[in-house]
Structure 1
Amino acid sequence: MAELCSSMPTAGGLYYAASVLAPEGWGPLASWIVGWSNFFGFATGPCSVNYALASMLVTCGAIAYPGYTPQTWHTYLTLLALLVIQGFITMQSTKFIGWVNKVQKFALCHYKEVDLNSQVGTVANVVIILIFVIWFPVGSINSPKTNRSSEIWTTFENGTDWPIGWATIMGFLTTIWTMSGYDAPFHLSEECSNANIAGPRAIIMTSLSGLVGGWAIILVIAYTVKDITEVVAGPYGQPFGSLCLQVLGPKPGLAMFALNIIAQFFVGQGCTITATRVIFAYSRDGAIPGSRYWSRVSKSTHTPVWATWGVLTISALLGLLMFASPVAIGAVFSIGAIGQYTAFTFPVALKLFFDGKSKRFRPGPWHLGRFSKPLGAIAVGWWCVIVPALCFPAVKGSDLTLLTMNWTCLIYGGSMLLAMIYYAVSARKWFKGPRINVEHTNIVEGVESGSVEGKVPVVGTLRDEKRE
Structure 2
Amino acid sequence: MPIFHRQRDDSVMSSTATDDVEDFTSTAQKGLVAPRYMGTVADQRDMTSLGRVQVLRRNFRFISIVGFGCTLICTWEVILTLLSSGLTDGGTAGLIWGVHRAPTAGGQYHWVSEFAPRRGQKFLSYMTGWLSAMGWQCAIVSIAYLAGTIIQGLIVLNYPDYDFQRWHGTMLVIGISTFSILFNTFLAKNLPFVEGLILIIHVLGLFAIIIPLWVLAPRNNARAVFTHFNNGGGWNNAGMATLVGLSTTITSMLGYDCSVHMSEEIKDASETLPKAMMSSVAVNGVLGFIMLVTLCFTLGEVDSVLETPTGFPFIQIFYNTTGSLPATNAMTAVLVITLTASTITEVATASRQLWSFARDEGIPFSSFFAYVTPGWNIPLNAVMVSLGITVLLSLINIGSEAALNAVISLTITSLMSAYIVSIGCVFLKRLRGEPLPPHRWTLGRFGLAINFGALAFLLPIFAFAFFPLYTPVTLETMNWSVVMYIGVIGMAMIYYWVRGRHRFIPPVALVKRDGM
Q: Give matches, 1:173-322, under 5 Å.
A: 173-251=247-325, 252-322=327-397
Query: Matches of residues 4-15 of structure 1 in structure 2 within 5 Å?
Result: 13-15=107-109
Residue 160 of structure 1 pairs with residue 233 of structure 2: yes
Change (3 A) 1:356 1:440: farther
TM (norm. structure 2) is: 0.76
Once residues 129 and 200 of structure 1 are traced to their aligned partners in structure 2, the CA distance between those partners, rounded to angstroms, is: 25
Contact 1:48 1:333 in 2 (8 A): yes
CA separation of 1:356/1:150 partners in 2, compared to 1, >3 Å: closer, same or farther?
closer
Instruction: For 1:357 and 1:70, locate their aligned partners in 2 and report how far apart those are by CA, in whole Å.
Output: 58
Q: 1:132 aligns with which of 209, 229, 238?
A: 209
What SS does structure 2 have at the residue aligned with 1:297? coil
2:412 to 337, 344, 356: 337
Flag the 1:31–1:418 CA change in 2: closer, same or farther, 3 A.
Answer: same
C-alpha distance in structure 2 between counterparts of 1:36 and 1:149, whole Å? 45
Q: Which of residues 432, 443, 459 is equivalent to 1:384?
A: 459
For the pair 1:46 / 2:140, whether they are aligned, the reply is yes
What is the Cα deviation at residue 167 of structure 1? 1.4
Compute the displacement of 1:368 (Å): 1.1
- Looking at structure 1, the residues matched to 410 and 296 of structure 2 have their Cα atoms a distance apart, in angstroms, of 28
Greater CA drift, 277-286 or 230-239: 230-239
Residue 401 of structure 1: which of 474, 488, 502 is its match?
474
Q: Is the 8 A contact 1:37 1:343 kept in 2?
A: yes
**Equivalent-residue separation in structure 2 for 1:57 and 1:436 (angstroms):** 48
Q: CA deviation at 1:230?
A: 2.5
Shift of 1:360: 5.3
Structure 2 residues not aligned, in runs of 5+:
1-42, 51-55, 57-105
- The two structures, once aligned, show a CA RMSD in angstroms of 2.3
Equivalences, count: 415
Query: Structure 1 220/356 Cα, relative in aligned 2: closer, same or farther at 3 Å?
Result: closer
User: Residue type of the partner of 1:195?
Assistant: A
Q: Give the Å deviation of 1:47.
A: 0.2
Identity of aligned residues (%): 26
Measured in 1, the distance between the counterparts of 2:507 and 2:478 equals: 37
Matching residue's letter, 2:361: G
Q: Which has a greater percent of helix? A: 2
Distance 1:221 1:357 in 2: 45
- The one-letter amino acid of 1:421's match is I
Once the two structures are overlaid, the 10-residue window that deviates more, 227-236 or 27-36, is 227-236
Pairwise CA distance, 1:45: 0.7
Question: Does 2:35 correspond to 1:35?
Answer: no
Return the alpha-carbon distance in structure 1 between the equivalents of residues 503 and 423 of structure 2. Answer: 26
The correspondence of residues 418-437 of structure 1 with structure 2, limited to 5 A, is 418-434=491-507
* Alpha-carbon offset, residue 354 of structure 1: 4.1
Q: Deviations over 1:10-59 (max 9, x none)?
A: 89942110000112242211111110111111010110000010001112
Assess, with a 3 A threshold, how the Cα gap between structure 1 residues 290 and 308 changes in structure 2: closer, same or farther: same
Kindly indicate whether the alpha-carbon contact (under 8 Å) linking 2:114 and 2:507 is maintained by their aligned counterparts in 1.
no
Name stretches of at least 5 consecutive residues in structure 1 with no aligned partner: 1-5, 102-118, 446-468
Q: Check whether the contact 1:335–1:408 (CA below 8 A) recurs between aligned residues.
A: yes
Deviation at 1:124, TM superposition (A): 1.3
Match of 1:116 in 2: none
Partner residue of 1:20?
114
Q: Cα 1:172–1:412, aligned 2, differ >3 Å: closer, same or farther? A: same
Partners of 1:237 and 1:358 lie apart in 2 by 52
Amino acid at match of 1:302: N
Query: 1:71 is matched with which residue?
Result: 165
Alpha carbons 2:180, 2:344 under 8 Å: kept: yes
Residue 392 of structure 1 aligns to a residue in which SS? coil
